[in-house]
Structure 1
């Protein structure tokens, strides 16, 4: 670690310093060099960026991305020197700068609403990186890096999965730091071993609960659920958070299936009423399979409350809202009703369960709990609303490609079908419109995280919030990666949770 620390601080050229910090961040090591990174970025944020701009497009784009990534204020105007006199388009002379274009493309996804220069940056980079004649002369490592970004831009990637993938990519890069690469491998293996123990513990809990025997129609996706939770909170210090979020995720998936697949409308209405009152005595009125669900849910919430010495009612309101939204969708489905898009989104942002996950994450990450903060979280602020919306819309794009299967399973029409019915649009047009809504939500979220109060929302919670949206982008990119994981998702799970990285150095080399 000291060798890498020295590399950051030993007066290296600014361009190299920025590239090193970007690599450290992508390799999942930013928390190990927090002070050094913030010191460099703080100095950069206080000057007029002339030195950065002189280093070229790549350094300028990396600087822009890092400053926004770590919460510093920076304007899109930093790119003015690379644009024409009207600042409408980028200079044609940059069209062959592949490395610069790649960094510009990734930086463009840090855009705020209304930033036209960032829109121009994205279209310019995309157009020139995908030119046919350009593709024919790409070196292998650059071609791979461009393909990686085009598949999913850096800002929307799950950070810990990116760390695993980037270790292999970084090893092939020119100017790679052997000390940094070895540190990344050792760190990854150490964290992975912690996750593996947690996964084993989660498996024991799920086996003891034995819900699959009683509710055989539900999805049994423990591995995918734990993978999703690791994507939201991967830091080794937050094991209890991952344990409880995994339990909650499995219970949500199971109870969602009860509403979608199995329960009668009368049973679902009774279950929802009992949850709304948190009426433990009233559970006797429920059918056996619903009693099991309520009991497991109650035990999980009490377990969190007892561990944190908190009031066990802290999360009840969130659960009541969730199951009310499940009930609305169950009624829509049973009546064959397709709502307007506005009506659908109002309910779907809740039924996506992002607010429950993030509310619970706030508690489990041991953020400061006050009456004011809890009320703010319950009021569905943008820091919860926006990732929940992205979560739902990404899921819709993935599942709407197989409408018949989803409807046979009991799912309500997605945002795609709602928009098609309301506007008469084709499926292709509807999917493009939903993709635009996702892009707009990301821009809003970028601005929200830049301006939200850090004392009120600690960085660890902000990171978990945006990681929820990132996981949705990853899991639903090529289909429903949770309910019907593809070969690609299964491979990602293996590489992240099961397969360690070969490394010749020992753990003592991290000291």
Structure 2
């Protein structure tokens, strides 16, 4: 391959974590003691949860605390069983709608039910409106109530006008409210305005909430100690997993073999951690993080390295799933091809051994679809073609890469992700499409300026501007509305009854949350300094106990 070949190279920022493992404390002294303490505290917390059932409203507040402190996964079955009872209980439903149940409490109840897939009616908020149909002015004095309303309003679905109004009302006042709140509440409001709890990565939300909760007057010391120990014990496991992923990257000699890609080992692991943090998904996190490193290399190869002729050869080989990389492509592309095909073939073998025949076929198919989406964009760039927005949107579902990524997150969910789950995912269910739209368009909005500094295919914003003859600002607003609508679709698909096990739907939700954190304000995956504080708080610093 002669140096005269023109390549659309990108000036990607360097990796800022040469070896994050050197930042970790090597000491695991006292881990056994902490495990014993953890076990003892878990029993005490369970006892508190059980005794809170005597008052269903206090019980839901307790569930909310368990969720936000990151320990609800220990009591999931009991929580769902209790919510089921309360949801169907006439007395409970009447109490929530009575005047005595304040805005803060109703907001929490609404959030908790919807979080677990119970579609509590929006009429619980009617009593907070005046005779003109507006939210009552005096509510603004209630900082906790307004924050609770704002968080609840994130769970809206289509046609819920009162939720849209609640979101606008609470959002318009919260910045001012934070300026007259106690310092720790002000920080929480600021964090919520940046990333509401529903759209945040759960480990980040947990880390922030622990710091907030322990300063609250109502703090339960047993619960907060349990949450801290649980966080630190999980952190040890997460560090081991990152070490596995880092080792794989070094052993593959990835850095020297593919010099033009974004080397984002730690960020890829954070993406995976955002998808599932619980201990039973340890192997799943490692596999997903490695897949994300491969997907990044593929994305950058199509976007910022290969010529159309080389990429066509590559895509054709992948479409046929040839065991060897095609001729006529550079060594770096051959390396990416072999690394990807070998990774998928090995995974396919493992799935076959587990009796999950056919799942590997769907994993490969999802990757081939993504490659076809990338290929289409490369052809558009070569022709200097600006697609119509409709054409772009159809291809964006593929080029988001989220079909391949969602499928990969299912791969190690052995108990629930059988062949029927992969078949369902391949049928373009609404929740998958919503997540793909959130992924593609949120990224398009945040990375617009960076992409325009180099040779790059027209983004969704360019296509919208061209098709509708509007300014960049109007196009950005329109795409923001498309993303908001996709979140409403996603919220609706999380409501019961579920066609497939809830843990599978949670992967799609969590992957959408990662996008909100990584891309809402800037492309933080490409510019990793924007994720640094999260990596430090989740993987490097332990919580003092």
TM superposition score normalised by structure 2: 0.86
Whole-angstrom CA distance in 2 between matches of 1:203 and 1:129: 42
Which residue is equivalent to 1:338?
Answer: 386
Does 1:216 pair with 2:259? Answer: yes
Moved over 4 A (4+): 11-15, 367-372
Which residue is equivalent to 2:319?
Answer: 276
Deviation track 1:374-432 (CA, whole Å, cap 9, x = no partner) reads 33221221222111110111111110133433xx1x43222122222222322222221
Of 329, 332, 357, which residue of structure 1 is paired with 2:377? 329
Q: Secondary structure at the match of 2:452?
A: helix
Aligned residues: 494
324-333 vs 335-344, greater mean Cα deviation: 335-344
| Structure 1: gaps (5+ residues) | 504-511
Which residue is equivalent to 1:76?
Answer: 122
Q: Let me know the Cα RMSD of the aligned residues.
A: 1.9
Whole-angstrom CA distance in 1 between matches of 2:475 and 2:171: 23
1:234-253 matched pairs, under 5 angstroms: 234-253=277-296
Of 469, 493, 512, which residue of structure 2 is paired with 1:469? 512
Pick closer, same or farther for the CA change 1:135–1:242 going to 2, 3 Å: closer
45-54 vs 202-211, greater mean Cα deviation: 45-54
Whole-angstrom CA distance in 2 between matches of 1:295 and 1:500: 38
Pick closer, same or farther for the CA change 1:185–1:304 going to 2, 3 Å: same
Pick closer, same or farther for the CA change 1:369–1:19 going to 2, 3 Å: closer
Pick closer, same or farther for the CA change 1:343–1:108 going to 2, 3 Å: same
Deviation track 1:21-76 (CA, whole Å, cap 9, x = no partner) reads 21110111111122332243223201342223432111111111100100113111
The 8 Å contact of residues 259 and 327 in structure 1, kept in 2 or not, is answered as: yes
Pick closer, same or farther for the CA change 1:369–1:37 going to 2, 3 Å: closer
Which residue is equivalent to 2:9?
Answer: none
Which residue is equivalent to 1:416?
Answer: 461
Does 1:395 pair with 2:443? Answer: yes
- The alpha carbon displacement at 1:303 in A equals 2.3
Pick closer, same or farther for the CA change 1:7–1:413 going to 2, 3 Å: same
Whole-angstrom CA distance in 2 between matches of 1:258 and 1:85: 60
- The alpha carbon displacement at 1:92 in A equals 2.4
Which residue is equivalent to 2:87?
Answer: 45
TM superposition score normalised by structure 1: 0.92
Whole-angstrom CA distance in 1 between matches of 2:495 and 2:349: 34
- The alpha carbon displacement at 1:253 in A equals 0.7
Which residue is equivalent to 2:536?
Answer: 494
464-473 vs 443-452, greater mean Cα deviation: 443-452
Whole-angstrom CA distance in 1 between matches of 2:308 and 2:387: 19
Deviation track 1:231-282 (CA, whole Å, cap 9, x = no partner) reads 0121111122111111111111111111112211111111111111112256
Deviation track 1:141-164 (CA, whole Å, cap 9, x = no partner) reads 322222121111111111121111
Which residue is equivalent to 2:335?
Answer: 292
Whole-angstrom CA distance in 1 between matches of 2:417 and 2:142: 49
Does 1:63 pair with 2:112? Answer: no
The 8 Å contact of residues 202 and 243 in structure 1, kept in 2 or not, is answered as: yes
